[in-house]
Structures are given as structure tokens and as C-alpha cells.
Amino acid sequence: MTQTDRRVLISAPGKVILFGEHAVVHKKLAVAASLGLRTYLHLEENETGQCRLHLPDVDIDLTWPLSELSLNVDRKALDTDHPDNIPEEIKQQFESWMGVTTKENQRRAVLSFLYLFFVLKTDKPASFGFTISTRSTLPVGAGLGSSASFASCISTALLVLFNHIPIGFTQSEKKESYLDTINRFAYKAEQVIHGNPSGLDNSVCVFGGALSFRRGERFVPLEGFQSLQLLLTNTKVPRSTNALVAGVGAKKEKYPNVINPILDSIDNISLRCCEAFKSGSKEDLAQELEDLVDMNHCLLHALGVSHSSLEKVRVITEEFGVKTKLTGAGGGGCALSVIRDDVNVETTNLVAKKLAEEGYDCYRTLLGGTGVNAVVLGDDSLDQTWLLNADRETLESHAI
Ligand SMILES: Nc1ncnc2c1ncn2[C@@H]1O[C@H](COP(=O)(O)OP(=O)(O)O)[C@@H](O)[C@H]1O
Ligand SMILES: C[C@@](O)(CCOP(=O)(O)O)CC(=O)O
Ligand SMILES: [Mg+2]
């Protein structure tokens, strides 16, 4: 295979925030782990002179001649603290390339790609072209970090495409430093999608595993972490992380003396969780996590980010003695329930059945899977069409 028809499969996990969502935006501690569900990105280099961006999860299929995708500015002028701070004329140029794309979820996905493209682009021959297709097994916009998972894949694809990092970065001695680079640009894409992300989600999606995180500091792998049995319930109520994060920020501005103690309590919940993993016996750990789940949810409710559908999940699971909190930005989306080891399979199935009767989707998935990965595809039949149609097991067997 020549360099020009290279095809690469990149994947990154989603995440589940155990404790600390929203508070983490305001520099409080959070605890999170990667999920078995992932986003997959198929990158094909070709000689069409065109760039195709195919994002079926948000109904986007755009193609631009690469000769047209050019800006009259230095890359450094784009690599600002926040992508919102780029010059106005460049924003307008991005708008013109977006064409008739008007839905907010589509616009943010395309903008995050265009932004990273221009920050990372290097000189290539005139015939150079590529196609990027993505597909996620995560629900999009439901609190399981689809945005960070997508951002991690796009960041990796463009870093590989423009030769900033080698494809075999996970086997390299410099793996940590390559992952840091991927994480830095994934954060930028998250900024385009979220406005004010803490950096927690992209760190989990890039590095994988279970970790604690405080904004502005390096994450810490969660000592003594044991994978838990969790039930994730997607209420399917749509919501936007961007709007929910902004809402909590506005509340904090208006009622600082009320909101700050809530955020401090959440900080202490995350601290307590770290201590429980470090020192607790399995039995104590389960009891403590249940208490923390309950308290964290109620504090999030006070911040205004719960939803009647999430409260319904709590009522249904409580009937079986199972504790539930919202996870991610809330306002709909997903809830997580801790299933203790002494809860039998029949009970868990019954809880899942009751939740399904409400129209909710339930996921049972493992925590702490591998972070971002890239593999070269040798088989010509594994093209974009394969990516879009393959089942989850097939995708997983090729990607990691
Ligand atoms: N597979 C994907 N393809 C394209 N865009 C995606 C994909 N996954 C996520 N996104 C982008 O991220 C947004 C959802 O992010 P967000 O509201 O933070 O929810 P989540 O909890 O899933 O991260 C989508 O509206 C879209 O802009
Ligand atoms: C609410 C928040 O803590 C998590 C958002 O997660 P998600 O986008 O809902 O998966 C925001 C953040 O940490 O950037
Ligand atoms: Mg998100």
C-alpha cells in the first residue's frame, strides 16, 4: 500500500462521570472512567484533491476541493486560548464553507473539524485528498461523552494525516507525549462543541482507564479502582451540554453564597470516592458509593440540571433498592445506577425491563477500557461502507 491510499481506523471510548460533573468546570474534583462504547473514525488518504467529511450520526456529508480550503493567516493566529477568539473574518470564512448547515449539533461538529484542520494542516502535493467518516456506538448528546470521543478521533486523525504523530503512537516509547498532544487538540475541538469544557471528558477518552481530575491539573489514575457493575439508562430526552454548563455558570454568578457550598460538597464527594477506592473493602465500597451517588444527584438537582425523566429513573430503580444519579451534563440524557454484587441478575433484568417500558434504552457496559487507538487497515474491503454497516463486535475486533 502506498502512502497515498493509506487507510486508518481510529477509535476512542466514551466516558461515564461517576462524581463531579458541572462542579469540575469550576475547578472541583471529579471521578470518571472510560466506557466499552466507542466512536470509530475511518481515514482514507487518496489522490482526489478533495476533502470529504462524512458524519452520518449528525447527518453531514460535505466535500470541499482542498485548493479552496485555504486561509490567508498564520496557523499561530488560529491557535488561540479559545477557538471563539479567532479573527472575525476567519469565522465568516468558516461559515461560508459550512454552506446550508444550520442545525446547531451539525454546525459544531463541522466547525470543530474545520478549526483543527487549519490549526494542524501542513503542505501537501496538489493531488492530495482524504475522506473522514465517523460512526459512534455511543448515543450522541446523552451524557456519555460522545463529543469528547468524537473530538479525540478527529484530533488523532488530523495529527496522523499531517504527520505530527506516527500511526503507531500507542506502541511508541513517546506514547505519553503523543497522547498529550492528541489531548491538547481534542480539548480545542471540545471547546468548539461545548464552549467551556473542563477537560475531564477528553482526558478520559484519550487516556482511557479510571481517573480523578481537577481542571488545570494533570489527571490522576484512580488508585484501587475496581470495575463496577453499572446500569446506564438513556432517557433519550435531548439536551445540550453547552447550554447546561452555561446555566450552572449563570446560577453561580447570581447566587455565589448558595452555589459555592454545593460545588464544595460535590468536591468532597469525589474526594471521598477516591479514598473509598484506595482503602475500602468491596462491601464498604458498594455501600459508600450508593450514598455518594444519592447525595451527588440531589446536589446536581439543586444546580438545576436534573429533569423529570431522570427523576423517574430514580423512582423506578429505588423500588428495587438501586441508587441512581444523572451522569454527564444532565437535563435529560443518561443516568447511572450502581448495581451491588449482591443484586441478582433477575432483579437487574427486571429493573432494565421496567425502564425499557418507559421508552428508555439501557446499557450494561464495562468501565475502564483502552483510550484512543489507531490501526492501519490492510484489507481493501474495510472501507467507509464497512464502517457504517459493521456491528459493534466487528468494529471492536478491528479497532483495538
Ligand atoms: N459521532 C459524531 N459525529 C459527529 N458529531 C458528533 C458525534 N458525536 C458527538 N458529536 C458532536 O457532539 C455533540 C454532542 O455533544 P454533547 O452535547 O456534549 O453531548 P455528549 O454528552 O454526547 O458529549 C453533537 O451535537 C455533535 O456536534
Ligand atoms: C457537565 C460536564 O462536567 C460534563 C459534560 O459531559 P457530557 O458532554 O454531557 O458527556 C462538563 C465538562 O466537564 O466539561
Ligand atoms: Mg460532551
pLDDT for the residue numbered 77: 79
Q: Is the shortest distance between the CB of 328 and ligand 2 below 6 Å?
A: yes
Same fold, 3-219+367-393 and 226-363: no
Whether 62 and 53 have beta carbons less than 8 Å apart is answered as yes
Pocket residues: Cβ below 6 A from ligand 1: 39, 55, 57-58, 105, 108-109, 134, 136, 140-147, 150, 193-194, 240-241, 328
**Cα 58 to middle of ligand 1, angstroms:** 8
Q: Which member of 11, 133, 136, 147 is catalytic?
A: 147
Atom of ligand 2 nearest to the CA of 305: 1
User: Along the chain (400 residues), what's the average pLDDT of each consecutive run of 10 residues?
Assistant: 75 97 98 95 96 96 94 81 87 87 90 96 94 95 97 98 96 97 98 95 97 97 88 96 96 98 98 91 84 98 98 97 97 96 90 96 87 89 80 76
Cα angle for residues 229, 223, 20 (degrees, 5° grid): 65
CA of 307 to the centre of ligand 2 (A): 16
Report how far residue 382's alpha carbon sits from residue 167's, in angstroms, rounded to the nearest whole number.
Answer: 18
Task: Report yes or no: 352 and 362 within 8 Å, Cβ to Cβ.
Answer: yes
- ipTM surpassing 0.90, yes or no? yes
250 contact partners, CB below 8 Å, separation of at least 6: none
At 54, phi and psi to the nearest 5? -115, 105
Return the residue matching grid coordinates 456519555. 144
Q: How far apart are CA 242 and CA 104, in angstroms?
A: 11
In angstroms, the Cα distances linking 133 to 13, 253, 297 are 17, 41, 36
Q: Whole-angstrom distance between the N-terminal and C-terminal Cα of the chain?
A: 21
Q: Summarize pLDDT for 153-208 with one digit per residue, the tens.
A: 999 999 999 999 999 999 999 999 999 999 999 999 999 999 999 999 999 999 99
Residues 276, 284 contacting (CB under 8 angstroms): yes
Choose which residue among 146, 188, 203, 241 to substitute to test ligand 1 binding: the one with the highest number of ligand atoms within 8 A of its C-beta.
Answer: 146
Q: Is 209 left (phi over 0), alpha (psi -120 to 50) or beta?
A: left
Count of CB atoms situated within 10 Å of the CB of 27: 13
Q: What's the gap between Cα 261 and its chain centre?
A: 28
Atom of ligand 1 nearest to the CA of 143: 21
Q: Which atom of ligand 2 is nearest to the CA of 14?
A: 10
Which residues neighbour ligand 3 (ion) by CB within 5 Å?
Answer: 147, 241
**Catalytic residue check, 379:** no
Contact 259, 398 (CB under 8 A): no
Q: Is the dihedral of CA 336, 183, 253, 266 positive or negative?
A: positive
* Distances in whole angstroms, Cα of residue 98 to Cα of each of 36, 53, 212: 33, 11, 37
* Cβ–ligand 2 contact at 329 (below 6 Å): yes
CA–centroid distance, residue 193 to ligand 3 (Å): 8
Catalytic residue among 149, 152, 201, 309: 201
Q: Is 113 helix (H, G, I), strand (E, B) or coil?
A: helix
Q: pTM for the complete prediction? A: 0.95
CATH number of 3-219+367-393: 3.30.230.10
- Shortest-distance atom of ligand 2 to CA 198: 14
**Mutational pocket test of ligand 2: of 16, 18, 19, 24, the residue with most ligand atoms within 8 Å of the beta carbon:** 24
Residue 5 is predicted with a pLDDT of 77
CA distances to 149, 150, 155, 235 from 14, in Å:
5, 9, 15, 17
- Per-residue model confidence (pLDDT) at position 158: 98
Ligand 1, closest atom to CA 56?
3
CB atoms under 10 Å from CB of 212, counted, come to 25
Q: What is the pLDDT of residue 130?
A: 97
The torsion angles phi and psi of 64, rounded to 5 degrees, stand at -125, 140
As its CATH architecture, domain 226-363 has 2-Layer Sandwich (3.30)
> Does 381 participate in catalysis according to the annotation?
no
Going from the Cα of 116 to the center of ligand 2, the distance in angstroms, rounded, reads: 21
Cβ of 139 below 6 Å from ligand 2? no
Q: What is the domain partition of the chain in residue ranges?
A: 3-219+367-393, 226-363
CA 138 – ligand 1 centroid, Å: 9
Indicate if ligand 2 lies below 6 Å from the C-beta of 343: no
* Pocket of ligand 2 contains residue 22 by CB under 6 Å: yes
Show the CA angle centred on residue 285, arms to residues 282 and 288, nearest 5°.
155
Indicate left, alpha or beta for 321 from its phi (over 0: left) and psi (-120 to 50: alpha). left
pLDDT at 80: 83
Amino acid letter for position 383: D
Cβ 155 vs Cβ 116: under 8 Å = yes
Give pLDDT, residue 3: 53
Ligand nearest to the CA of 62: 1
> What is the C-alpha separation between 265 and 254, in angstroms, rounded?
19
Amino acid sitting at position 209: G
